Structure 1
Amino acid sequence: MSSITRSNGATEKNLLDADLTNLIIGRAIEVHNHLGPGLLESVYETCLVHELTTAGLSVERQKLLPVRYKSLSLQDGLRIDVLVEGRVIVELKCVEKLMPVHDAQLYTYLKLSGVKTGLLINFFTKVLRDGIKRIVC
């Protein structure tokens, strides 16, 4: 992995999307191993954002995603749980089972944002790997 330097002097790793999603998954597993299942989604979100920023990644939390319809723009349309490096949308859930509606939600966010890669992470599962879906458009 190569490093790039931002104009503000900060350095970050230049990761491929697959490497970046693997890093995000690893940090999510770290959070899940420490906290276990059963907490509120917002708790996992706060802890995951902490892990990702500690890793030196650029993270936006609860990012507004406007919905555009013809000439109408709904600025408060949708909110992305976590956007990492402007390249991966992370949608967090704490549900008994991921359903097709959750996949559809992430697909919609990817389509509307132009981001190509997304992760759907369900923290309610006993083993976190069983609750992770990677979606690439």
Structure 2
Amino acid sequence: MNTDGMPDLKHPENTKLLLKEETHQILGCAFEVLNEVGHGLHEKIYENALVVEFKLRGIASDQQRRYPVLYKGVQVGEYVPDLIAFDAVIVDTKTIDRITDHERGKMINYLRKAKLRVGLILNFKHARLEWERIVV
């Protein structure tokens, strides 16, 4: 990470493996949920199923934690991520055609607002889980 808070693109090895084991465990839960529930349902179903799977595996998680959004020091709203796992990884469940720059950009903004570094976008729309790991 550069001093300006941006990803270190010149030295990606500095960010590549951040929370590797935790993200691996989260992905294991996501694959289990997809296998059990199936694909293409509403996002909230996958979010709730992940909470159950996290509990079964002893993974600490927080559903719908609220973060203030400030403008010039004044709270103008809140950001409420789907899940925070391990108190360190934002998990965003989706049922969309494909993950695009729109979702990636939102996750980067979410991570900055929450002052976290790692996010996972999990897309349950298709029979094969689509996922992306975002590091800031």
TM exceeding 0.5: yes
Question: How far is 1:64 from its partner?
Answer: 1.1
1:66 aligns with 2:68: yes
- Deviating beyond 6 angstroms after TM superposition, the runs of 4 or more aligned structure 1 residues are none
Structure 2 match to 1:23 = 25
Structure 1 match to 2:39 = 37
1:132 aligns with 2:131: yes
The amino acid across from 2:135 in the alignment is: V
After superposition, residues 57-96 of structure 1 pair within 5 angstroms as 57-74=59-76, 76-96=77-97
TM-score by length of 2: 0.83
Give the fraction of aligned pairs with identical amino acids, expressed as a percent.
32
What is the CA deviation profile of residues 45-97 of structure 1, one whole-angstrom value per residue up to 9, with x for unaligned ones? 111111011111211101112101112013x4211100012100001101111
Separation in 2 of the partners of 1:95 and 1:21?
A: 21
Structure 1 match to 2:112 = 111
Separation in 1 of the partners of 2:131 and 2:90?
A: 13
The amino acid across from 2:89 in the alignment is: V
TM-score by length of 1: 0.82
Question: How far is 1:120 from its partner?
Answer: 0.4
CA RMSD of aligned residues (A): 1.2
The structure whose residues are more often strand, as a share, is 1
What is the number of residues matched between the two proteins? 119
SS at match of 1:80: coil
Question: Which has the higher relative contact order, 1 or 2, with Cα contacts under 8 A spaced 6 or more apart?
Answer: 2
Separation in 1 of the partners of 2:35 and 2:119?
A: 22
Unmatched 5+ stretches in structure 2: 1-17
Separation in 2 of the partners of 1:105 and 1:124?
A: 19
Unmatched 5+ stretches in structure 1: 1-15
